[in-house]
Amino acid sequence: MSFSEGLKKEFSTMSLVLMPIAIGINIAGGVFIVALKLPIYLDSIGTLLVSILVGPWAGAVTGLLANIIWGLTIDPVAFPFSITAFFIGLTGGYLARKGMFKTVPKTLLSGAIIGLVGATVSTPIVAYVFGGVTSSGSTFITAYLLATGKQFLISVFSSSIISDLGDKLITALVAYLIARNLPLRIRSRFAQGQISI
């Protein structure tokens, strides 16, 4: 199958129905966690759900659009992290395509990989766009690490690793459980619904 045929399959009518629902799940989760100031995010559950069921590019677009919409309407801090959300969706979709969401242990490993990707992409954004201070609870971790004498970039990256790993383990597991518990007749209507889980 060519790249363009794969894209066409990913962006089917069923996928285009799922994507706005997933965007809503992302924004609701993110707003809830920001309000509680917890050092996790839970703003990628919908992205990974689309990545698992549909594919990497649909997941990437879902993450990108979720953060753009969230950033323009509710929390401007979310906007620059659109690129992070894009790579989370892309990574999740390729991992799903390789069967990395077929069991709980593989799902947790996928969550760890996605967490590392998220932390790597987010660190320059947190450091250079926000000076280490965002609206999430991970800022408290950064502040603590700075207070212990760690260098600025090391503090930001360490905070991102801690927050992203914990967050993506939970996020991957929740997305996997949702996808896994969908009836097969619904799951099979998505591009990766039968092969990914």
**How many angstroms from the chain centroid is the CA of residue 133?**
20
Q: Quick one: pLDDT band at residue 68, thresholds 50, 70, 90?
A: very high
What does pLDDT average to over the chain?
93
Judged against a pLDDT cut of 90, whether residue 1 lies above it is answered with no
User: Is 195 part of a structural domain of the chain?
Assistant: no
User: Tens of pLDDT along 161-186?
Assistant: 999 999 999 999 999 999 999 999 99
Work out how many domains the chain is built from and give that number.
Answer: 1
* 0.85 exceeded by pTM: yes
Residue range 51-63: mean pLDDT, rounded = 98
Q: What is the CATH number of the domain that holds 165?
A: 1.10.1760.20
Range of the domain at 138: 3-187
User: Is 192 part of a structural domain of the chain?
Assistant: no
